[in-house]
Amino acid sequence: MSRVVVIGGGAAGMAAAIGAAQSGHSVALYEKNEKLGKKVYITGKGRCNVTNGCDTEELFGNMVTNGKFLYSAIYGFTNFDMMGLLEECGCRLKVERGNRVFPVSDKSSDVIFALERKLKSLGVSIHLNEPIKELLLEDGICKGVILEKGKKKIMADSVILATGGFSYQATGSTGDGYEFAKAAGHTVTELSPALVPFVCAEEDVRSLQGLSLRNIEVTVYNGKKVLWKEFGEMLFTHFGVSGPVVLSASSYAAKTIRKNPLVMDIDLKPALSRDQLDARILRDFDEAKNKQFKNSLNQLFPAKMIPVMIARSGIDPEKKVNEVTAVERERLLSITKAFRVTLTGLRGFNEAIITQGGVSVKEVNPSTMESKKVPGLYFAGEVLDLDAVTGGFNLQIAWSTGMLAGRSCQ
């Protein structure tokens, strides 16, 4: 029976400890926080979107960075395997819109408790409030860890680094793992906040703060190139835009927006073609023909948006509807099908759901998650240069890579 040390008690760390213990190893899990799964508690707005219930093959289409690297990990422990594990541990699940999987109770704590029960039943020794100072490296081999408290050495046959990323730093994701990896000779790619809101240049966007839009379609452009296009929900904020479709867009835009601003067009009526929308506007105008233009748009837009749409259309708000020209109506139609905002940057790591970038996967064996540089050192989860869009996919990366690392320990 070999000894395995897992650094980090988040999603990847818990999965790694379960995988290693199930493989017959003696496992010790070290977590610097006062409880396990601190970041898991806040995922899915505290409900924990544990995975996505799509066909396993479809998972890869939702990976943003290095999806091919994940084939062995995901097919070795699929989304359905994860669902089965939680159900087996007493956490009942349900599938919602977009195949998002949540606990029936809507409480992320139930996911943590289920995994904690599993860890204890497998005999994993859990050490909370126990930060790691450094990896114990001898002759280029990882032989264990050195605890911060008392500089105590803990010997191990395998060490799994599952320290998370750099996002939500209040949960303890302060980038320790990147430093451990660098000290072991690994390359850490450029880090960026991802699944994070955008900052916008336009002042009128700020006046829409708090307005949530459903059933819209956003397209993000870098020049003429489309970086991201998706239908769904979004939110205007005091600094720009947020919400599900915007957060996913940030993962595809993170590298480019560091070099130059981008453009986002919001189609406020994606279900209607331009001709259909024109007919709809004409119908609304016909019903309000004796009203002023500013009082004719309440069927078309939310109240908060009307002053902005009037200003952007360039149509005199006091003008009678029956005096609005075809050219003016065309302008209104155009800004409805493409409400344009300029994206100037991303919000910071403290608002990012995940970190883009991390330990280079070129230096990690995809079949085992073991370092190609340092025998005995394994990686799992967000510390690696892997990320996906919203919908439970990032947690599945953590579960799958964690389980593979744990099962692969020698």
3-state DSSP helix/strand/coil % of the chain, to nearest 5: 40, 25, 35
Of the candidates 54, 50, 382, 392, which has an alpha carbon nearest to the alpha carbon of residue 248? 392
In order along its 410 residues, the chain shows pLDDT tens digits of 899 999 999 999 999 999 999 999 999 999 999 999 999 998 888 999 999 999 999 999 999 999 999 999 999 999 999 999 999 999 999 999 999 999 999 999 999 999 999 999 999 999 999 999 999 999 999 999 999 999 999 999 999 999 999 887 777 778 899 999 999 999 999 999 999 999 999 999 999 999 999 999 999 999 999 999 999 999 999 999 999 999 999 999 999 999 999 999 999 999 999 999 999 999 999 998 889 999 999 999 999 999 999 999 999 999 999 999 999 999 999 999 999 999 999 999 989 999 999 999 999 999 999 999 999 999 999 999 999 999 999 999 999 999 999 999 99
- Distance between CA atoms of residues 196 and 288, nearest Å: 41
Residue 191 zone, left/alpha/beta (φ > 0; ψ -120 to 50; rest): beta
- Distance between CA atoms of residues 395 and 392, nearest Å: 6
What local confidence, expressed as pLDDT, does residue 174 receive?
81
For 310, the token pair is 């009037």
What is the sign, positive or negative, of the torsion defined by CA atoms of 20, 24, 25, 26?
Answer: positive
End-to-end distance of the chain based on CA atoms, in angstroms?
A: 9
CA angle in degrees (0–180, nearest 5) for 274-204-345: 95
Q: Which residue has the tokens 């744990």?
A: 406
CA 94 to chain centre: 20
What is the sign, positive or negative, of the torsion defined by CA atoms of 144, 178, 73, 52?
Answer: positive
What local confidence, expressed as pLDDT, does residue 158 receive?
98
Residue 248 contacts by C-beta under 8 Å, 6 or more apart in sequence?
195, 228, 230, 389, 390
What local confidence, expressed as pLDDT, does residue 43 receive?
87
For 235, the token pair is 């939110």
Residues 162-205 have pLDDT tens digits of 999 988 777 777 889 999 999 999 999 999 999 999 999 999 99
Strand order in the sheet with 153-155: 132-138, 141-147, 153-155
CA 298 to chain centre: 35
The stretches of 23-104 forming alpha helices (DSSP H) are 38-42, 56-59, 71-76, 79-88
- Distance between CA atoms of residues 159 and 163, nearest Å: 12
What local confidence, expressed as pLDDT, does residue 139 receive?
96
Q: What would you report as the CA-atom Rg of the chain, rounded to the nearest whole angstrom?
A: 25
What local confidence, expressed as pLDDT, does residue 169 receive?
73
- Distance between CA atoms of residues 13 and 88, nearest Å: 19
Enumerate the β-bridge partners of residue 267. 217
Of the candidates 225, 238, 229, which has an alpha carbon nearest to the alpha carbon of residue 197? 238
Amino acid at 351: E
Residues 198-253 have pLDDT tens digits of 999 999 999 999 999 999 999 999 999 999 999 999 999 999 999 999 999 999 99
> In 3-state terms, what secondary structure has residue 209?
coil
- 75-101 exposure pattern, b = at least 16 Cβ within 10 A, e = fewer: ebbbbebbbebbeebebebeeeeeebb
For 56, the token pair is 């396993």
